[in-house]
């Protein structure tokens, strides 16, 4: 069971609008549950990302205890959604797909608390879900929600069976079957199980610190631990680093260790292009390791480019709004990072909503965009220059297949083996991970959640012939 903070507030401060709690229609739900309810609705309706909503200005008004419960409820429900729905379907007299989203969301909030949160009384979990439905103007469904959750509350505790095949693993670990089938077929059932288990845990926060920021964080009471993959990385198991002055001033970046490793692979240059740069954590790390270089950071979307300008504190970074498939300049660069938009299947521990949105056809659509970006990017490599192509995907269509397609069309470029680059990082004391072979798939870098203490990343190094 999972424990949650006590001391929840008992008044509602969330705004009233369609699909959100209304004071005039019910007793007020607690702020944490009202906030979780709204976030889950927006994730479903607007395809918003939960992590962004959890850090929005509205949630900043919540107490520390309430914010902790909101995060637990939202991320827990998104991680375990299919398993929750399986148990709801068994207790419901109606098919779940016929329920209004507000009703289904309230049921998910209730069952998650009943199954996973031992410190919350069952009567409180049920009552709050009923009140959420009433407040969302679905009063006619209140008795239905009450009956379903009471039936689940009276049932035996949930037992999760050991997975001996991909189908059982998908069901018990709350992953779509088609994704687990792919992983089991490619990596084997044992590795697929490790990935699924990692995805269902709360990942540690990893950061990159600049200058004396580590000392400042320690003095502020934020306890840091050494990185598991990189010696320059730090882990923050419990504290909220976003409240620290060093973070607000840009001297600390939240960045998964595998993401930091990809930026390290770019190496040193005088003219560097980051062609899909936002939100900019890799851009800033490259700027710090290349303080004399000129770095051009491009992003397709103006609002993301504006955010990048605000966050990119280094004076050697210039930001441009541009489509990486059609870069609007003839300049050549000696180092390029093409960290392309991808499915994100290597980041499901942090972004669990992805697994419920992704469809097999999406991989082909993404691949066509990735090929176009890589073709455009390599055309801007100077002779002897190197490009790092990377994704946070575990899927071959977005990784090896993209690189192989682009390299097959031109003899001007060659693939560089990542092994010597990792050995160099290890010899310099930067790479803390001892088993370099586990980080490799042929000439490519590949990290796997569960096998490695980080997100799943892929990287290829491409060099232009002199």
Residue 13 lies in a domain: no
Ranges 10-14, 84-88, 399-403: which has the least confidence: 10-14
Average pLDDT rounded to a whole number, residues 111-129: 95
Order of strands across the sheet that contains 205-209: 225-226, 233-236, 205-209, 252-254
The predicted structure's pLDDT at residue 330? 86
Same domain, 190 and 224: no
Ranges 3-12, 23-32, 447-456: which has the least confidence: 3-12
Average pLDDT rounded to a whole number, residues 440-448: 98
Residue 305 lies in a domain: yes
Same domain, 250 and 119: no
Return the SS3 of 317: strand
pLDDT-derived band of residue 164, with 50, 70 and 90 as boundaries?
confident
pLDDT at 389 over 80: yes
pLDDT at 224 over 90: yes
The predicted structure's pLDDT at residue 159? 66
pLDDT at 10 over 60: no
Average pLDDT rounded to a whole number, residues 40-66: 88
Residue 16 lies in a domain: no
The predicted structure's pLDDT at residue 17? 33
In whole angstroms, give the CA distance from residue 202 to residue 72: 9
The predicted structure's pLDDT at residue 377? 97
In residues, how long is the chain?
A: 466
Residue 33 lies in a domain: yes
Average pLDDT rounded to a whole number, residues 239-258: 88
Residue-range definition of the domain harbouring residue 178? 166-199
Q: Which residue has the tokens 């909030």?
A: 109
Same domain, 181 and 280: no
Phi, psi for residue 254 in degrees, rounded to 5: -80, 120
How do beta strands 413-416 and 458-464 pair? antiparallel
The predicted structure's pLDDT at residue 331? 84
In whole angstroms, give the CA distance from residue 200 to residue 210: 31
Residues 396-429 pLDDT 10s: 999 999 999 999 999 999 999 999 999 999 999 9
Same domain, 278 and 374: yes
Active site residues: 392
Residues 262-317 pLDDT 10s: 999 999 999 999 999 998 999 999 999 999 999 999 999 998 898 888 877 788 99
Same domain, 213 and 307: no
Write down the number of H helices and E strands in the chain.
19, 13
In whole angstroms, give the CA distance from residue 255 to residue 457: 13
pLDDT at 84 over 90: yes
pLDDT at 122 over 70: yes
In our burial notation (b when 16+ CB lie closer than 10 A, e otherwise), range 261-270 reads bbbbbbbebe
Residue 14 lies in a domain: no
How do beta strands 294-299 and 317-321 pair? parallel
- What CATH number is attached to the domain comprising 109? 1.10.940.10
> Which comes out higher in pLDDT, residue 121 or 20?
121
Residue 240 lies in a domain: yes
The predicted structure's pLDDT at residue 83? 95
- Other beta carbons within 10 angstroms of residue 278's beta carbon come to 23
Tokens of 331: 């300049």
Same domain, 239 and 180: no
The predicted structure's pLDDT at residue 27? 58
Average pLDDT rounded to a whole number, residues 37-41: 96
Helix (H) or strand (E) holding 243: none
pLDDT at 158 over 50: yes
The predicted structure's pLDDT at residue 20? 39
The predicted structure's pLDDT at residue 423? 98
Same domain, 29 and 148: yes
Same domain, 228 and 265: no
pLDDT at 349 over 70: yes
- C-alpha closest to that of 234 among 221, 252, 246: 252
Same domain, 307 and 184: no
> Which comes out higher in pLDDT, residue 120 or 24?
120
pLDDT-derived band of residue 28, with 50, 70 and 90 as boundaries?
low
Same domain, 131 and 33: yes
Same domain, 215 and 72: no
Question: Which three-class secondary structure string do you get for 118-172?
Answer: CCCCHHHHHHHHHHHHHHCCCHHHHHHHHHHHHHHHHCCCCCCCCCCCHHHHHHH
Tokens of 429: 């004391």
> Which comes out higher in pLDDT, residue 203 or 24?
203
In whole angstroms, give the CA distance from residue 398 to residue 390: 9
Domain total for the chain? 4
Same domain, 290 and 309: yes
Alpha helices in 205-256 (DSSP H): 213-219, 245-248
- C-alpha closest to that of 201 among 91, 349, 94, 396: 349
């Amino acid at each position: 069971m999972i424990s949650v903070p006590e001391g929840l507030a008992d008044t509602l401060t969330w705004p009233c609008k369609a699909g959100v709690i209304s004071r005039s229609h019910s007793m007020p739900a607690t702020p944490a549950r009202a906030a979780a309810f709204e976030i889950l609705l927006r994730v479903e309706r607007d395809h918003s990302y939960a992590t962004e909503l959890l850090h929005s200005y509205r949630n900043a008004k919540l107490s520390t205890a309430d914010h902790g419960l909101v995060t637990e409820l939202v991320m827990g429900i998104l991680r375990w959604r299919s398993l929750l729905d399986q148990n709801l379907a068994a207790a419901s007299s109606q098919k779940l797909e016929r329920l209004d989203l507000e009703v289904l969301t309230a049921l998910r909030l209730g069952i998650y608390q009943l199954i996973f949160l031992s410190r919350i009384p069952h009567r409180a979990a049920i009552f709050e879900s009923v009140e959420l439905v009433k407040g969302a103007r679905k009063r006619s469904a209140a008795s239905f929600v009450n009956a379903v959750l009471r039936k689940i509350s009276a049932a035996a505790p949930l037992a999760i069976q050991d997975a001996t095949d991909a189908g059982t693993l998908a069901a018990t670990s709350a992953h779509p079957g088609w994704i687990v089938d792919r992983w089991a077929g490619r990596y084997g059932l044992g590795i697929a199980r490790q990935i699924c288990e990692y995805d269902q845990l709360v990942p540690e926060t990893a950061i990159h610190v600049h200058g004396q920021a580590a000392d400042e964080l320690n003095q502020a009471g934020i306890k840091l631990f050494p990185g598991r993959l990189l010696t320059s990385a730090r882990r923050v198991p419990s504290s909220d680093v976003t409240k620290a002055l060093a973070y607000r001033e840009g001297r600390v970046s939240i960045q998964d260790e595998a993401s930091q490793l990809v930026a390290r692979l770019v190496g040193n240059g005088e003219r560097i292009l980051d062609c899909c740069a936002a939100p900019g954590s890799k851009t800033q790390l490259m700027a710090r390791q290349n303080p004399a270089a000129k770095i051009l950071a491009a992003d397709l979307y103006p609002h993301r480019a504006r955010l990048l300008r605000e966050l990119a504190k280094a004076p050697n970074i210039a930001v441009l709004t541009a489509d990486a498939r059609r870069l609007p300049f003839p300049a050549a660069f000696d180092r390029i990072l093409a960290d392309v938009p991808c499915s994100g299947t290597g980041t499901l521990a942090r972004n669990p909503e992805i697994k419920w949105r992704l469809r097999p056809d999406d991989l082909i659509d993404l691949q066509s965009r990735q090929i176009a970006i890589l073709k455009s990017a390599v055309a801007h490599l100077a002779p002897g220059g190197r490009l790092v192509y990377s994704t946070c995907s575990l899927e071959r269509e977005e990784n090896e297949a993209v690189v192989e397609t682009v390299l097959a069309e031109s003899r001007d470029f060659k693939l560089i083996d990542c092994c010597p680059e990792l050995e160099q990082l290890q010899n310099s004391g930067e790479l803390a991970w001892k088993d370099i072979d586990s980080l490799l798939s042929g000439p490519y870098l590949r990290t796997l959640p569960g096998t490695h203490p980080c997100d799943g990343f892929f990287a290829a190094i491409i060099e232009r012939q002199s």
